[in-house]
Amino acid sequence: MSKQHFQIAVVGSGFAGSVMAMMAHRLGLSTVLIERGRHPRFVIGESSTPLASLLLEEISEEYDLPFVRPLCKWGTWQKQLPQIACGLKRGFTFYRHEFGKPFITDAERQHQLLVGASANEEIADTHWYRADFDHYLVTQAQNLGVRYFDETLLVNAREETTGMRLTGTRRDEPVEITADFVIDATGPRGFMHQALGLPEKPFAAFPSTQGLFSHFQNVGSLPESFSTPGQTPPYPPEQAAVHHIFPGGWIWVLKFNNGITSAGVAATDAVANELEFNSGEPAWRRLLERLPSLAEIFGSAHSVMPCVHSPRLAFQSGVVAGLRWALLPSAAGFVDPLLSTGFPLTLLGVKRIAGALKSGLRGSGFRRRLGEYAKLTLMELETTSRFVGSLYATMDRFDLFKELSLLYFAAASYSETVRRLGKPELADGFLLCRHPVFARQVLQICELANQPLSAEVAGELRQTIRQAIKPFDVAGLTDESRHPWYPAMASDLLRNARKVNASENQIQMMLARCGCKPD
């Protein structure tokens, strides 16, 4: 039997596992990265956000990982790493569909919402084609000196006085790895959750949902009926994470620059069971038959791999860390692909765990920071589930859905801005979940939105949402004249400098640093 000891064992070599392992290595800790499969491989979860890109940028600087830096913006990615496929993401596009009817834009654009995330292509976000992206990162980890064992299936984890003992098989041979500390990056319901028999903790306010997804070729463009004659949208609507909303669920369409499109559906049990998601591709076809505009877009498309059915999307582990182990946020829980919250949540956690590792593996400082990490991770997952849960509750009340989405975008853009200004303490926690006023307002708003409301109360709620957004709105989201198209504009940041405790000059310098030109 092969037996080896490391200070840190990271289990799971998705992007998060590889990044975490490289950071631990940079901290001078002997690190092993263990993967049950082999790269390149398919994995879902592709659409990035400004906050995720920024966190990756921070990590590349702080931990001296310069080869990660080009992946933080579309422009640098295309110039320096064009061999790694990705998609251009200028924003978040939403269209509201009704079953049995084609999507047709009306003059007021009532059934759409476009929120720009970047002012131009150069600095835009991306969809990560994970087969290439993860393969690149795991290769870089090995180049750096991280030990890597692939095709290693771990089945047992035992906590001992000196560390953790992990056992399993590598290419059918028994393997045993001991480590002072284990970081689980194997995704929801992953290795440690199973091996330690951790409890599951259901979200307080989130419906049971299922997923069905695949990669496709020959996906068509949005038909003419999606455009608004005489008006130019803030960015090309398909250069985005495109969300097609229908009662009880939504479809994502993410286009990569290699001819592949990632598409799938997340829906409540009622919709998923009726369409029999467990039948795979036939269910996808049945759904498209109900959505004529999407049937047109996917008319000539074919899947390049079998459709994957996920019978339960949302998950939260009741315990996130022990004395000698921790689950990354992506292993501790998952809410829904809606709003692409997975990457930023994960990268925030990766940074926090690395921060804890800096205080040494044995001291009380490490234990304290790990405890804080665990608490905050659960709080952030719960907050995300409230936001996204309220969106599920309003998929058939699109006016309210749009306002609630703006609440999310306000918190996200505020958080990104204060981080870029070097003041992360102003947005402590994902989506301002520890802000004494905003967090309370979000809770109240989401609880109300989950209920059936009269037109009058719904109107009042929309006003309440706008009031809650205002103090944090650095992106023109409360400018009603823009509704429902919100471009990403440097002038909004300048105008709202005081909301982030900054001078106009500081904002100008920040914009120059991140390559954002005046509007």
Residues that bind ligand FAD (CB under 6 A): 11-17, 34-37, 43-47, 153-154, 185-187, 190-191, 211, 213, 264, 310, 313, 328, 330, 334, 337, 340, 342-343, 346
Smallest separation (angstroms) from ligand FAD to the CB of 211: 4
Which among 366, 317, 304, 97 is positioned nearest to 198, based on CA atoms?
A: 317
> Which of 98/150 has CB closer to ligand FAD?
150
Query: Which phi and psi (to 5°) does residue 39 adopt?
Result: -90, 150
- Phi, psi of 304, deg, nearest 5: -100, 0
Q: Which residue number, 215 or 492, has a Cβ lying nearer to ligand FAD?
A: 215
Least distance CB 198 / ligand FAD (angstroms): 14
Distance CA 257, CA 106 (A): 31
Residue nearest to ligand FAD (CB): 45
CA nearest neighbour of 262 among 440, 128, 103 = 128
What is the torsion angle, in degrees rounded to the nearest 10, for the CA atoms of residue 275, residue 277, residue 283 and residue 286?
30
Q: Which is nearer to ligand FAD, 284 or 343 (CB)?
A: 343
* Cα–Cα distance measured from residue 291 to residue 267, given in angstroms and rounded to the nearest whole number: 14
Nearest residue (CB) to ligand FAD, 129 versus 438: 129
| Closest to ligand FAD by CB, 17 or 487 | 17
Instruction: Rank residues 15 and 277 by Cβ distance to ligand FAD and give the closer one.
Output: 15
Q: Give the Cα separation of 256 and 78 in Å (integer).
A: 12
Instruction: Give the residue among 454, 431, 452 at the shortest CA–CA distance from 443.
Output: 431
Q: For the CB of residue 477, give the shortest distance to ligand FAD in the complex, in Å.
A: 21
CB of 509 to ligand FAD, least distance (A): 29
Q: Could you tell me the smallest distance in angstroms from the CB atom of residue 347 to ligand FAD?
A: 9
Cβ proximity to ligand FAD, 263 vs 510, nearer residue: 263
Closest to ligand FAD by CB, 186 or 377: 186
What would you measure as the largest C-alpha separation in the chain, in angstroms?
Answer: 70
Pairing assessment for the beta strands 164-170 and 152-159 based on DSSP bridges: antiparallel
Residue pair 477/406 in contact (Cβ under 8 Å)? The answer is: yes
Least distance in Å: CB of 417 to ligand FAD?
Answer: 20
CB atoms within 10 A of CB 263: 26
Q: How near is the Cβ of 33 to ligand FAD at its closest, in Å? A: 9
Nearer to ligand FAD, 195 or 445 (CB): 195
Name which of 84 and 185 has its Cβ closer to ligand FAD.
185
In whole angstroms, how close is the CB of 2 to ligand FAD at the nearest point? 15
Closest to 446 measured CA to CA, from 270, 242, 244, 203: 203
| Block residue for tokens 């393969």 | 135
Of the chain, the end-to-end C-alpha distance in Å amounts to 63
17 and 347 in contact (C-beta within 8 Å)? no
Residue 16 or 307: which CB sits closer to ligand FAD?
Answer: 16
CB of 397 to ligand FAD, least distance (A): 24
Q: How far is the CB of 7 from ligand FAD (least distance, A)?
A: 19
- Taking the complex as a whole, how short is the minimal distance between the CB of residue 14 and ligand FAD, in angstroms? 2
Torsion angle, alpha carbons of 486, 487, 491, 494, to 10: 60
If the CB atoms of residues 310 and 506 are measured against ligand FAD, the closer one turns out to be 310
**Residue 204 burial class via C-beta count within 10 angstroms: exposed 0-12, middle 13-18, buried 19 and up:** exposed
Least CB distance to ligand FAD at residue 497 (A):
29
- Rounded CA separation 166/176 (Å): 6
Residue type, 208: S
**Of residues 52, 50, 69, the one with CA closest to residue 60:** 69
Q: Are residues 185 and 20 in contact, defined by beta-carbon separation less than 8 angstroms?
A: yes
Residue 50 has φ and ψ, to the nearest 5°, of -55, -40
Distinct helix (H) and strand (E) counts, the chain: 16, 20
